[in-house]
Chain A
Amino acid sequence: MQAHPHTEQDELKVMGAKCYQCGKCSAGCPLASQMELSTSQMMRQLQLGNYDAIYRSNSLWVCVACETCQSRCPQEIKIVEIWDTLRNRLFADKKLQRKYATKGAVRHILLAHKIFLSNIYTFGRIFEPMLAAIYNLRSGDLFKDASKGPSLLVKGKLPLLPHRINGIKEFQRIFKNVEKYRAQKG
């Protein structure tokens, strides 16, 4: 049995307090069947300040931010905004990542997002062939979708050479400035 902790109030808990567990979010979620905690269960854990349970489940990463839950929430809770804040926290915290994001689907999904970001960091835009190739390399799933590679190339779907934007330096500075700003704020 789990004790209900009386944790301290914080901004997210205040946002979550409006949830009355109607379940309309979970009912419409396209990825509910893959989530270890349903959207409404995540909100319940949030109300209790049980962040450990939230991060232990894969739900934050299974969510693709399709906004179905938020657009139907009768209590007008900014669900995606709350989840983004939680995801941001994990992205910003290596310790949290080591604790919660080294296994299974969560590792793969997080990896995909990271590779996506490093891809645009490098070129200023996405270079799709490298995106898939690096992902497969890093995830260990070497031949995933590889069969489609040649046919995509033949069909001209995949460009052969990356395009790098002219203002790549100032573009990359945006990323660095965000990092710097976060480091300053702690």
Chain B
Amino acid sequence: MDIEKREYAYYPGCSLEGMAKEFDIATKEVFTRLGIKLSELADWSCCGATAAHYKDRLLAYALPARNLNLVGKSGKSEVAISCAACFSRLKTTTMQLEHDSKLKAEVELVLEEKYEGGVKPLHILEILMQSVGTARLQALVTKPLKSLRVVSYYGCLLVRPPEVATFDDLENPTSMDKIMECMGAVAVDWPMKTECCGASLTLSKSDWVLNLVEKLLREAKDAKAQVIAVACPLCQANLDMRQIDLQNQKRIDFKMPVLYFTQLMALAMGAQKEKLSFHRHLVEVQSTLGAYLNQ
């Protein structure tokens, strides 16, 4: 286990500036309470997401490589990442460039600079579980989420491919569940922890995404969950926003708040509800979390 670090370079990723601003706020809130500084990387750029590796393999490694070099330049060797997709792209890049010298030479050619390497991308979930530890998390809880039934949704890139996402179990991840238990919530087991939500198809084929999301929400409901906890902005957007479409198109109203796991953590650690931007969610949060918000 790593010795607890006091400071990490921080790569929020594009969504956390926009649609997923509340993820950014809540994550920083939690880390501040833990006494860990997240120093945002100066002038970071997009990791390229799915589109880049669909278009060109080289581009897909060059875009994260630019950011990895920025981490090195900032004098840090570890970068904390909130978004599951950004984490996956950055980590994949470090792994590929480490053993593929031809690719590394190509990346350096298009970057017009040397790829320095030696940077370790870490998902915040990984930092919380492995460097901080549940005991310390539990110690900071002041308003436990007593009897709140939470299902944790990991989606794809927090567990796959397993050689990249190494910090949790491929078929039955538990890190988020354990954190939710530390927060006093009831971590409810459900079968859809790692089933895909349709991801980037949300822009072009939202009807397909709707089908997948409906299945996920139904299972969450069947598991008698009150809240879905997520760690990926795209998962959150799909699960939250598409509930409005399900109401409009299929007259199904799941009323299932979809919250970033750090929002729930911050709440349990006593953060002001105003700070946590629950109003930014499309599915209303107040009625489910009311009791916890007004503690």
Interface residues in chain A, defined as those with a beta carbon under 8 Å from any beta carbon in chain B: 30-31, 33-34, 62, 64-68, 70-71, 80, 84-85, 87-88, 91-92, 105, 108-109, 111-117, 120, 124-128, 131-132, 135, 139, 144-145, 147-148, 151-152, 155-159, 163, 165-167, 170-171, 173-175, 177-178, 181-182
Which single member of A68, A105, A124, A156 contacts B204 (CB below 8 Å)? A105
- Closest Cβ neighbor of A120 among chain B residues: B46
Listed from nearest, the 4 A-B pairs whose CB atoms lie closest are A67-B160, A177-B110, A66-B196, A126-B14
Q: Tell me the B residues contacting A by CB distance below 8 Å.
A: 14-15, 17-19, 21, 43-46, 48-60, 62-63, 66, 106, 109-112, 156-157, 159-162, 170, 194-196, 198-201, 203-206, 208, 211-212, 241, 244, 248, 277, 279-282
Residues of A within 8 A of B161 (CB): 67, 70-71, 80
Main secondary structure of the interface of B (DSSP, over half): helix
Which residues does chain B contribute within 8 Å of A114, judged by CB atoms? 51
Are A178 and B45 touching (Cβ within 8 A)?
no
Count A-B pairs with CB separation below 8 Å.
171
- Our pick among A113, A124, A148, A171 for the contact of B244 (Cβ within 8 Å) is A148
The 6 sampled A-B contact pairs (Cβ below 8 Å) are A66-B160, A68-B160, A84-B53, A113-B50, A125-B44, A157-B280
Q: Beyond A177-B109, A177-B112, is A125–B56 a contact (Cβ under 8 Å)? A: no
Q: Taking each of B18, B48, B109, B200, which has the highest tally of chain A beta carbons within 10 Å of its own beta carbon?
A: B18
Q: Shortest distance in angstroms between B42's beta carbon and chain A's nearest beta carbon?
A: 8
Chain B residue numbers with a CB within 8 Å of A173 are 112
Known pairs A31-B196, A67-B161, A157-B280 / 9 extra A-B pairs, C-beta < 8 Å: A34-B208, A70-B160, A105-B205, A112-B204, A120-B45, A120-B48, A135-B203, A156-B277, A165-B45
Are B204 and A139 closer than 8 Å at their CB atoms?
yes
Name the one of B14, B111, B241 contacting A125, with C-beta atoms under 8 angstroms: B14
- Tell me whether A175 and B59 are in contact in the complex, defined as CB-CB below 8 angstroms, given that A30-B198, A124-B45 are known contacts: yes
Complex: how many Å from CA A105 to CA B212? 17
Tell me whether A30 and B206 are in contact in the complex, defined as CB-CB below 8 angstroms, given that A157-B18, A174-B66 are known contacts.
no
- Min CB–CB distance B87 → chain A (angstroms): 13
Chain B nearest CB from A71 CB (Å) reads 5
CA separation between A178 and B170, bound complex, in Å? 34
Given A65-B53, A67-B156, does the pair A148, B18 have CB atoms closer than 8 Å?
no
